[in-house]
Amino acid sequence: MNIQDNYQKNRKNIFFSENKDIETHREKLINIFENDRFDKKNNESLKNINLKNFIDFNYKYLIPEETSVINNTHENSYSIVSVNGQCSTFKDDKIEITKILDEDYNDFSKNNTIEKNDHFVNLNSLFLNSGFKIVIKRNNKIKIKISNIVTDDDLTIFQKNNIICQEGSSLSLIEEYENKNNSTSNILNVIKLEKHSQLNHFLIQDNSSNHNLIITSHSSCKKDSTYTQKVYNFSEGYVRNFHYSELIETNSEADLQGIFFLKDNNTSNNKTFVKHLAEDCKSNQVYKGILNDRAKATYFSNTHVDQVAQKTEGYQLSKGILLSDSASYFSKPELKIYADDVKCSHGSTIGPIDENAIFYLRSRGMSKIAATKILISSFINEELSSIDNEQMSEIIQKKLVRYLSKVK
Amino acid sequence: MFLEIKDLSVKIENKNILNGLNLNINKGEVHAIMGPNGCGKSTLANVLAGKEDYEILNGKINFKDNDLFDLNIEERAQEGMFLAFQYPVEIPGVNITPFLHSAINSKRKRMNEEEIDNLSFAKLLKSKASDLGINIDMLKRSVNTGFSGGEKKRYEILQMSILNPDLAILDETDSGLDIDALKIVTDGVNKLKTKDNSFLIITHYQKLLDYIKPDYVHVMVNGSIVKSGGSEIADEIEKDGFQKFQ
């Protein structure tokens, strides 16, 4: 079924389909799909992926029978279970959770300039069927854990979340994606950090092989704010992590880190993009991958420094270990600098595990398998030891042990 | 015989490196191999330790009544063979202490000995490090990472003293060491020497042998031992070089 027919058939279940402006915007998106020649060479959202599988899909969405749960587990600590992308409303003096509104759609989807060629973002806008908005109120320090549950097979979740950290607030957000059903989740997170705010965003991805997860996030940082994102992908199914960050006011920071652990025939596509639009801002993009069997991955990192963004510091690093001759990892770092007083760097190293290091460890009595595992752990040691959230650290260690147990 | 190398020929990437090498080492003996650059000294050390890049063309090696070629790299280490590397490998992210703890326990396990617990190991490590003038802070670092040349060699000797091997192979341990570091390293080796263990010392220079007295000195040229004798051979080499042996 083509996109137009698919949309028309399911229109009544899709958010904001009665809004005339939004419908006009969606018609434009449909035209893009119908007329696009899908330029795989120049469009990073199309690399290493069979887009046809994601465009010719059977739309299915179930409104969850049980409403999602929001618990205030401890003071300043909340636990949310999002079911099929839906979350019930909640309000106290520190946070507010509401449904997304037409204006939230317009705020990002219509004004989106960075991702206009990203077909997955366009699909998300077109078939939007779930999502919520979280506001952290001024000067509050909050912890939130969100478990994202998909209830049934064959569901197509198109979810859009807005997260707003008001001035002086601080949020530690853990998102878990651990689904075992044959479904596809296409999620767009739009994150806004007001002045002096901070967001530490952890994403743990551990889906089964029949579950596709497509996450796109866009963060914008105002003066003295910091957005930190750490992604840990242990999924056996396809995962796409694309993260865009705009540093729009001075002294703001974006720190985007990711580690993926792939095996079998799995594929993961990753991208980080940081746009420096003001002076004295810092960014850091570090992605590391461990690939076994016939796994494939891509990582595109981009730093764009606008001409007004003097005193920028922007660093990129990509590293990969290939545990098998059939695994592949394509990495492309890119810097575009239009200011003249900046410190920027990029680096990329991908290769098999260091045989000399293996020999050294074995020559001290360690078995080959133990040496391999210790070297894999050491490869990501810096990132793992920098996790300052004990709960997160434990979760990641357990998943790492599970991944390593399959390394032969 | 403790170690018996018989008619050993080895090649790598179509280049013959060892050509019919013979060497016998008994328990409690210290042997030194001297030879010019490229004569095959390090290849011999690597082949003994089990590095898999080499093709064995001919020959046999017996170590403690085992056919060495039946043992893989870690089994050789667990049986009591130790190679002090010429260029110790930097391994960022692998902490020295748990690594060494795991190494010693893998050996004890093979020997059917009880594994050493954390506390006892920490004590052992601290005392051995102190003997070698190694700062305790260094033990918190990653294996060889950011170490100076001297620190790397000292750390190799620390590992050797912890693992207490039956046969230690020192591959140009003196290279890159200043005189003070050389003394500390060689003192460490001399302390380990007993009637039950043996040493194979590979070096270019006679200097090292001023500190570690060998029972036998062998001259290696083009992948074979061309002369064997006592420490007078080292003096001869110091005086006249390797030219006359080639």
Residue B213 CA to residue A305 CA, distance in Å, equals 64
Identity at A88, one-letter amino acid code? S
């880190």: which residue's tokens? A257
Tally of structural domains, chain B: 1
Within 8 A of A383 by CB-CB distance, chain B residues are none
- Burial-class residue A388 by CB neighbours within 10 Å (0-12, 13-18, 19+): exposed
Within 8 A of B77 by CB-CB distance, chain A residues are 362-365
What SS3 class is residue A345? strand
Within 8 A of A362 by CB-CB distance, chain B residues are 50, 72-74, 77
Q: How far apart are the first and last CA of chain B?
A: 29
pLDDT, one tens digit per residue, over A248-274 is: 999 999 999 999 999 999 999 999 999
pLDDT, one tens digit per residue, over B23-75 is: 999 999 999 999 999 999 999 999 999 999 999 999 999 999 999 999 999 99
Positive or negative, the CA dihedral B66, B69, B74, B80 is: positive
- Interface residue B25 vs chain A (CB under 8 A): no
Residue A141 CA to residue A95 CA, distance in Å, equals 10
Q: Are B191 and B212 in contact (CB under 8 A)?
A: no
What SS3 class is residue A86? strand
Does position A297 have pLDDT exceeding 90, yes or no?
A: yes
Helix axes A368-379, B96-110, angle to 10 degrees: 170
Q: How far is CA A136 from CA A99, A148, A162, A348, in A?
A: 15, 20, 11, 37
Question: Which contiguous run of DSSP H or E holds residue A262?
Answer: strand A253-262
Domain that includes residue B196, residue range = 29-42+80-245
The confidence band for A111, taking pLDDT boundaries of 50, 70 and 90, is: low
The confidence band for B179, taking pLDDT boundaries of 50, 70 and 90, is: confident
Within 8 A of A368 by CB-CB distance, chain B residues are 72-74
**Mean pLDDT across B230-244:** 87
Q: How far is CA B198 from CA A63, A397, B48, in A?
A: 76, 42, 14
Option in A365, A377, A378 nearest B103 (CB): A365
CB contact under 8 A, A365 and B88: no
pLDDT, one tens digit per residue, over B111-128 is: 999 999 999 999 999 999
CATH code for the domain in which residue B87 is found: 3.40.50.300
Q: Are A296 and A326 in contact (CB under 8 A)?
A: no
Q: Is residue B75 part of a domain?
A: no
CB contact under 8 A, A357 and B142: no
Residue A370 CA to residue A234 CA, distance in Å, equals 20
Q: How far is CA A64 from CA A88, A99, A184, A211, in A?
A: 11, 14, 16, 18
CB contact under 8 A, A363 and B83: yes
Residue B102 CA to residue B94 CA, distance in Å, equals 12
Residue A352 pairs in a beta bridge with A322
Give the pLDDT of residue A6.
Answer: 93
Residue of chain B whose alpha carbon sits nearest to that of A369: B74
Residue A288 CA to residue A320 CA, distance in Å, equals 6
CA distance A205 to chain B (A): 24
> In the β-sheet with A69-74, what is the strand arrangement from edge to edge?
A69-74, A77-83, A141-149, A170-177, A198-205, A226-233, A253-262, A282-291, A312-322, A342-352
What SS3 class is residue A293? coil
**Mean pLDDT across B89-94:** 93
CB contact under 8 A, B74 and A379: no
CB contact under 8 A, B106 and A356: no
Does position A299 have pLDDT exceeding 80, yes or no?
A: yes
Residue B20 CA to residue B222 CA, distance in Å, equals 10
Within 8 A of A360 by CB-CB distance, chain B residues are 85, 88-89, 91, 143
DSSP A130: B
pLDDT, one tens digit per residue, over A218-237 is: 999 999 999 999 999 999 99
